[in-house]
């Protein structure tokens, strides 16, 4: 018999949240809790990037408190099982990714198990499981920092991926937290189409997809959600729109990025097209998720340092798309959108996907 389990996936680059300690956090949490209250998911997955911000050595303690605040909040009381993974050991330079993943299981969801990559089997989940610091030896995740040879010409940074695997009512799926390389310079990004940065991201994303699809563990439907740092094809766009300097985008007018949710610009969002053989995405009906002003009073304005882009995404394998239940007209169904569109959430607006997942009961 087919059943449906409501699932909420959220991705959030929280770097600027920790760089502006205190200011943004209250609103950020309120928006998230409101979303949970509104959609009533039974399984929630939160993927964070840049935990601790740029100043992670100073802010990592605050970051751990942030996770604790979410985990212990009264709003999440009905989720009686929680798994938290925070890669916060910045001293381990070769493996530090600054990724954090949190998973919440509602008390009404009885049939759920998590995979142990060491013994290669699913196990029941109970209580609160927290892994903070070094995640070496934690067998319920697979984590990797991209190696230096991905992009020899650029500064090595804390980018990589972290994967967990779940079995919900006999439906297995992989959830992968991803952070890909950013555009370091607007001018270099403009030199070619596609840009050299885009080529780096493509290589890294292909690597992740190959890793999670290889035969070490039998492949399952997967959702990749994180900060892909996808950028618009800047060279093509600039010829149309902007005057550009190294770190300044002087827009003809900001409105072009927000009217019709930036629909005019989606044609320049080309980086995912190289992957249509293996991944797909719900249709985008929201403005670019980055780079919003960090000024608390300007929650809908973009900063003029970078061209706005849909950096934060929830992508899925074609087999994962097949387990999303499409409801009849009039029923609430799949929602793909940004979180906190009218409040300051930092330079990235979190992006979420809510959907009823098809599950099988025997």
Which residues touch 120 (CB under 8 Å, ≥6 apart)? 217
Residues in the chain where the model's pLDDT stays below 50: 252
d(CA 91, CA 22): 25
325 in a structural domain: yes
251 in a structural domain: no
d(CA 316, CA 45): 14
d(CA 64, CA 309): 29
Phi, psi of 193 (to 5 degrees): -135, 115
298 in a structural domain: no
261 in a structural domain: no
d(CA 46, CA 101): 6
The reported pTM is 0.93
CA angle 204, 206, 209 (to 5 degrees): 110
d(CA 290, CA 302): 7
The pLDDT score that the predictor gives to residue 245 is: 56
Q: Are strands 312-317 and 222-227 parallel, antiparallel or unpaired?
A: antiparallel
| Structure token pair of residue 173 | 């799926």
Owning domain of residue 337: 2-230+270-287+309-360
How many domains is the chain partitioned into structurally?
1
The pLDDT score that the predictor gives to residue 278 is: 95
* DSSP string covering 283-324: PP-S---B-B---TT-TTPBPTTS--B--EEEEEEHHHHTTB
Cβ 41 vs Cβ 8: under 8 Å:
yes
CATH number at residue 146: 3.60.10.10
Phi-psi category of residue 346: left, alpha or beta, with phi > 0 → left and psi -120 to 50 → alpha = left
**Strand, helix or coil at 349?**
coil
Which residues touch 239 (CB under 8 Å, ≥6 apart)? none
350 in a structural domain: yes
d(CA 142, CA 343): 34
254 in a structural domain: no
Q: If we measure between CA atoms, which residue out of 341, 186, 330, 198 comes closest to residue 261?
A: 341
d(CA 98, CA 193): 30
145 in a structural domain: yes
Q: If we measure between CA atoms, which residue out of 274, 352, 275 comes closest to residue 318?
A: 275
Angstrom distances, CA of residue 334 to CA of 286, 311, 357, 360:
14, 21, 10, 19
d(CA 63, CA 112): 28
**Strand, helix or coil at 27?**
helix
36 in a structural domain: yes
């Amino acid at each position: 018999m087919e059943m449906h389990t409501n699932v909420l996936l959220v991705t959030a680059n929280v770097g600027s949240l920790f760089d502006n300690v205190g200011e943004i956090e209250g609103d950020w949490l309120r928006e998230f809790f409101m979303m949970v209250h509104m959609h009533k998911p039974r399984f929630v997955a939160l993927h964070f990037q840049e935990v601790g911000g740029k100043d992670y050595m100073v802010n990592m303690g605050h970051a751990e408190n942030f996770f604790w605040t979410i985990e212990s909040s009264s709003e999440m009381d009905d989720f009686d099982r929680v798994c938290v993974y925070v890669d916060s050991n910045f001293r381990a330079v070769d493996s530090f990714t600054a990724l954090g993943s949190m998973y919440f299981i509602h008390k009404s969801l009885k049939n759920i198990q998590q995979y142990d990559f060491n013994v290669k089997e699913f196990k029941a989940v109970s209580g609160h499981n927290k892994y903070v610091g070094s995640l070496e030896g934690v067998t319920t995740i697979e984590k990797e920092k991209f190696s230096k040879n991905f992009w020899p010409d650029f500064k090595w940074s804390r980018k990589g991926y972290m994967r967990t695997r779940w079995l919900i009512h006999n439906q297995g799926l992989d959830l992968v937290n991803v952070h890909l390389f950013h555009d370091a310079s607007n001018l270099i990004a403009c030199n070619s189409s596609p840009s050299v940065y885009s080529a780096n991201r493509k290589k890294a994303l292909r690597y992740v997809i190959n890793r999670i699809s290889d035969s070490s563990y039998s492949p399952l439907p997967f959702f990749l959600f994180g900060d892909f740092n996808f950028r618009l094809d800047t060279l093509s766009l600039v010829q149309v729109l902007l005057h550009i300097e190294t770190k300044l985008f002087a827009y003809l007018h900001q409105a072009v990025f927000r009217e019709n949710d930036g629909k005019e610009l989606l044609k320049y969002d080309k980086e995912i097209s190289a992957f249509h053989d293996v991944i797909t995405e719900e249709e985008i009906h929201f403005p670019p998720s980055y780079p919003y002003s960090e000024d608390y009073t300007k929650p809908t304005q973009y900063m003029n340092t970078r061209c706005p882009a849909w950096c934060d995404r929830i992508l899925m394998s074609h087999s994962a798309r097949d387990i999303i239940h499409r409801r009849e007209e009039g029923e609430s169904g799949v929602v793909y959108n940004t979180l906190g569109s009218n409040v300051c959430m930092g330079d990235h607006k979190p992006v979420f996907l809510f959907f009823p997942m098809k599950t099988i009961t025997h």
